[in-house]
């Protein structure tokens, strides 16, 4: 080692020059990051103390270059702060992207200098300058961020949005001439009503709305990255949250969501409130599945460098939007209950239940989610309570007005159309009514088989069974308002047949079962038999032979016979006049009833005329007594139950037998 040292040192000044020349060559070749250079220089200096100057030499060069970069970056930032030399007021403009890039590069350079430069004796002054430059730059970027967010916000296109939404419509008109957009008041049910209900909305799977111009997204992210690196994350978030929250508020206005309290809602007429509820149902789906989903996507991208910022930012934006939606639903849930609101409340319940999983997946704030669950629960309670109001209204409806032609009562139309709409919500109602069945419904069966069937029914089916039974009892009471027994039976036939048909032609049939349908059809036949007995039994009693046989006095026999024909004719004409004005709405039932009358009346009349025609024909004015042939009667029976009263003006046909 001594020899080596002497040899190296023996060269004097010339050897040291060669060492430094070598150092200069090393300096030129070390085009590597500062950390790597520092490590290499430390290794070199350990071989010979003459090489220790390399470190100071290299650092001196680095400091000069870093200082030059700092000066240039500071100059760019200060130029934009003073406005001198800037070509416009805003950095980020489509026609001049280079100036924005230069400014962001200047910020990067200062941040890099603050992170990497080894501070010398005058470092405090330089650091102060750097911090001042960053503060100025962040103030500029904060304003640029705000203006760019506002400028690049895309208003919600309601026309495009509505064109992308599929509506599910259910129309159950109760009569050809009756069709309205709303339920009438239950108290006014005597007027009759058609029912139309548009149920909810369905969003297209590909429905996507970008509420920020996509060309600006990358620039926004560039600004966010610099502000977070500079320690201005909170200022950045505040700007973003403020602007985007306002943008979502504007979207809710476009969707028709208004800020309404309970008192406001109670003052609104039903038609207007119904429109607001429909808009809310659409808005809650669009807000969660389209708007908030888009906001989440945007937050995740723009704040991708900070998970905490992503979550906090989206949470604050979503919270305001969700609460505005929940406030309206809350007011509806605890507002006044009336039967016409039930379907809209169920729509609102289903809409909120549908979006709740997506909301839970997106919004980390448990308090907001708990609020949503609470409102959902109260909407469910409102639906159950409103359904109970409807049941009570059916049981207690006491209108005394009769239908002039014994046609279907408006109560039956209203209730059955209501139930046909209601059954569409069977899954939701089964869930809501579980464990809340009306105990009376379990005891409605008149035999063990029906009781057993009730036990196997769903919660909604049991309630419907009970409700229709209440309707039938109410109709039975209303039938007593008719003085004519025959008309009572026609009224009951019409209404029970109508109920059966409504059940058969809808999902009600699946809930109530075939046995229920068969039993009611049997009841219709019982009413038909009772009608025949009450209406035609007395008329056909005139055709009995009492008083026309067994007597030796032919004059008395003939007089009795004429009396029977006169009574029959008068009775038939009165029956024809009255019962052509009665209405049997169901064509098949009307035809079956006419066939039954023909089968009962025509054979008896034909036989009676056949036995006594010869006796009458030999008397004066025979046509007064045998006024109608059996064919005449058969044709006249075709006019019955059409709802238009007719009068017989008969001239006996010569061809009649």
pLDDT tens track for 571-610: 999 999 999 999 999 999 999 999 999 999 999 999 999 8
* CA 125/CA 68 separation, integer angstroms: 16
Residue 402 lies in a domain: no
Inform me whether the pLDDT recorded for 487 exceeds 80: yes
Distance CA 155, CA 291 (A): 12
Note whether 306 and 391 are same-domain residues. yes
What is the DSSP annotation of 483-525? SSHHHHHHHHHHHHHHHHHHHHTSTHHHHH-HHHHHHHHHHHH
- Range with the poorest average pLDDT among 44-48, 398-402, 508-512, 652-656: 652-656
Numbers of helices and strands, H then E, in the chain? 25, 2
Q: Are residues 280 and 391 in the same domain?
A: yes
Instruction: Tell me what pLDDT residue 21 has.
Output: 57
User: Which CATH number belongs to the domain containing residue 615 in this structure?
Assistant: 1.20.1280.170
Q: What value does the mean pLDDT of the chain take? A: 80
Over residues 249-261, the mean pLDDT reads 89
pLDDT higher than threshold 70 for residue 283: yes
Among 32-41, 248-257, 360-369, 519-528, name the one with the lowest average pLDDT: 32-41
Helix (H) or strand (E) holding 201, with range, is strand 195-203
Determine, yes or no, domain membership for 49: no
Could you give the CA distance from residue 409 to residue 175 in angstroms, rounded to a whole number?
12
Helix axes 630-637, 554-579, angle to 10 degrees: 20
- Taking the whole predicted model, whether its pTM rises above 0.75 is answered as yes
Alpha carbons 339 and 337: distance in angstroms, whole number? 7
Asked whether residue 120 is domain-assigned, the answer is: yes
Check whether residue 350 and residue 262 sit in a common domain.
Answer: yes
Clarify whether residues 247 and 333 are in a common domain: yes
Of 629, 623, 588, 626, nearest to 606 (Cα)?
629
Q: How many CB atoms lie within 10 A of CB 366?
A: 9
Single out the residue in 492, 509, 531 at which a domain terminates. Answer: 531
Confidence of residue 29 (pLDDT cuts 50, 70, 90): low
Domain shared by 117 and 246, yes or no: no
- Which are the contacts of 422, defined by CB distance < 8 A and separation ≥ 6? 342, 343, 387, 429, 464
- Cα(108)–Cα(105) distance, integer angstroms: 5
Supply the DSSP symbol for 404.
T
**Last residue of a domain, which of 504, 531, 558?**
531
Give residue 234's pLDDT band: very low, low, confident or very high (50, 70, 90): very high
CA distance 52 to 41: 8
Q: Is residue 182 part of a domain?
A: no
Q: What is the mean pLDDT of residues 104-115?
A: 85
Higher pLDDT, 127 or 88: 127
Q: Decide if 375 is inside a domain.
A: yes
Please state, in angstroms and rounded to a whole number, the distance separating the CA atoms of residues 205 and 91: 39
Instruction: Report residue 120's pLDDT band, with 50, 70 and 90 as the boundaries.
Output: very low
Task: State CA 79 to chain mean position distance.
Answer: 56
**For residue 173, what pLDDT is reported?**
33
Query: What is the C-alpha separation between 284 and 39, in angstroms, rounded?
Result: 61
The dihedral of CA 298, 213, 358, 321: what is its sign? positive
pLDDT at 389 exceeding the cut of 90: yes
Residues 64 and 152 in one domain: yes
User: 31 in a domain, yes or no?
Assistant: no
- 190 burial (CB, 10 Å; 0-12 / 13-18 / 19+) is middle
Average pLDDT over every residue of 497-503: 96
Q: Can you tell me the distance from the alpha carbon of 608 to that of 543, in angstroms, rounded to the nearest whole number?
A: 6
- In a shared domain, residues 416 and 281: no
Q: Are 256 and 341 contained in the same domain?
A: yes
Is the same domain home to 241 and 387?
yes
Q: For 280-309, what is the mean pLDDT?
A: 90
Q: What is the mean pLDDT of residues 353-377?
A: 94
In a domain, 313, yes or no: yes
Residue 439 within any structural domain of the chain: no
Same domain? 214 vs 110 = yes
Query: Domain range for residue 260?
Result: 232-396
Number of domains in the chain: 4
What is each CA distance from 408 to 399, 413, 470, 491, 639, in whole angstroms?
14, 7, 16, 7, 19
Residue 485: the pLDDT is 94
CB of 446 within 8 A of CB of 432? Answer: no
Confidence of residue 553 (pLDDT cuts 50, 70, 90): low
Last residue of a domain, one of 503, 531, 559: 531
Say whether both 468 and 492 belong to one domain.
yes
Are 336 and 255 contained in the same domain?
Answer: yes
């Amino acid at each position: 080692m001594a020899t080596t040292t002497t040899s190296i040192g023996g060269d004097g000044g010339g050897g040291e020059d060669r060492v430094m020349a070598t150092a200069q060559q090393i300096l030129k070749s070390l085009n590597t990051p500062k950390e790597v250079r520092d490590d290499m220089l430390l290794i070199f200096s350990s071989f010979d103390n003459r090489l220790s100057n390399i470190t100071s030499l290299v650092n001196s060069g680095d400091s000069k270059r870093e200082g030059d970069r700092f000066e240039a970056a500071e100059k760019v930032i200060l130029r934009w702060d003073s406005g001198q030399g800037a070509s416009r007021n805003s950095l980020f403009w489509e026609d001049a992207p280079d100036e924005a890039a230069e400014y962001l590069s200047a910020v990067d350079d200062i941040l890099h200098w603050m992170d990497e430069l080894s501070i010398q004796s005058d470092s405090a002054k330089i650091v102060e300058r750097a911090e001042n430059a960053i503060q100025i730059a962040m103030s500029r970027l904060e304003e640029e961020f705000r203006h760019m967010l506002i400028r690049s916000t895309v208003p919600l296109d309601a026309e495009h949005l509505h064109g992308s939404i599929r509506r599910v419509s259910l129309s159950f008109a109760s009569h050809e001439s009756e069709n309205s957009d709303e339920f009438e008041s239950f108290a006014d049910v005597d007027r009759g009503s058609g029912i139309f209900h548009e149920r909810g909305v369905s969003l297209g799977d590909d429905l996507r709305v970008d509420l920020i111009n996509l060309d600006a997204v990358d620039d926004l992210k560039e600004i966010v990255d610099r502000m977070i690196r500079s320690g201005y994350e909170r200022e950045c978030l505040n700007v973003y949250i403020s602007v985007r929250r306002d943008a979502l508020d504007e979207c809710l206005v476009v969707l028709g969501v208004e800020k309404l309290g309970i008192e406001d809602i109670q003052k609104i007429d039903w038609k207007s409130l119904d429109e607001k509820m429909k808009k809310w149902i659409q808005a809650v789906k669009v807000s969660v599945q389209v708007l908030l989903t888009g906001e989440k996507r945007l937050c995740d991208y723009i704040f991708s460098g900070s998970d905490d910022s992503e979550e906090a930012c989206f949470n604050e934006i979503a919270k305001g939007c969700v609460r505005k939606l929940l406030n309206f639903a809350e007011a509806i849930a605890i507002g006044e209950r009336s039967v016409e609101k039930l379907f809209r409340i169920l729509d609102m319940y289903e809409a909120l239940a549908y979006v709740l999983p997506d909301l839970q997946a997106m919004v980390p704030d448990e308090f907001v989610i708990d609020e949503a669950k609470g409102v959902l629960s109260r909407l469910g309670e409102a639906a159950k309570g409103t359904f109970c109001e409807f049941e009570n209204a059916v049981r207690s409806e006491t209108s005394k007005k009769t239908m002039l032609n014994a046609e279907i009562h408006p109560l039956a139309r209203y209730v059955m159309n209501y139930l046909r709409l209601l059954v569409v919500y069977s899954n939701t109602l089964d869930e809501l009514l579980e464990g809340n069945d009306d105990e009376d419904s379990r005891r409605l069966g008149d035999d063990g088989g029906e009781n057993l069937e009730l036990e196997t029914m769903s919660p909604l089916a049991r309630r419907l069974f009970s409700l229709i039974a209440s309707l039938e009892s109410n109709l039975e009471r209303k039938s007593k308002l008719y003085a004519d027994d025959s008309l009572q039976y026609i009224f009951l036939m019409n209404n029970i047949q109508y109920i059966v048909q409504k059940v058969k032609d809808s999902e009600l049939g699946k809930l109530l079962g075939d046995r229920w349908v068969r039993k009611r059809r049997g009841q219709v036949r019982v009413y038909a038999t009772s009608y025949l007995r009450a209406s035609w039994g007395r008329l056909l009693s005139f055709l009995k032979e009492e008083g026309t046989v067994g007597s030796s006095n032919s004059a008395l026999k003939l007089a009795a016979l004429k009396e029977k024909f006169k009574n029959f004719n008068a009775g038939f004409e009165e029956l024809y006049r009255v019962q052509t004005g009665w209405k049997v709405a169901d064509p098949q039932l009307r035809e079956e009833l006419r066939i039954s009358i023909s089968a009962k009346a025509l054979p008896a009349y034909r036989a009676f005329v056949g036995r006594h025609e010869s006796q009458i024909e030999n008397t004066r004015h025979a046509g007064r007594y045998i006024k109608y042939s059996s064919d005449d009667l058969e044709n006249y029976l075709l006019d019955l139950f059409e709802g238009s009263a007719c009068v017989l003006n008969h001239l006996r046909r010569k061809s009649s037998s």
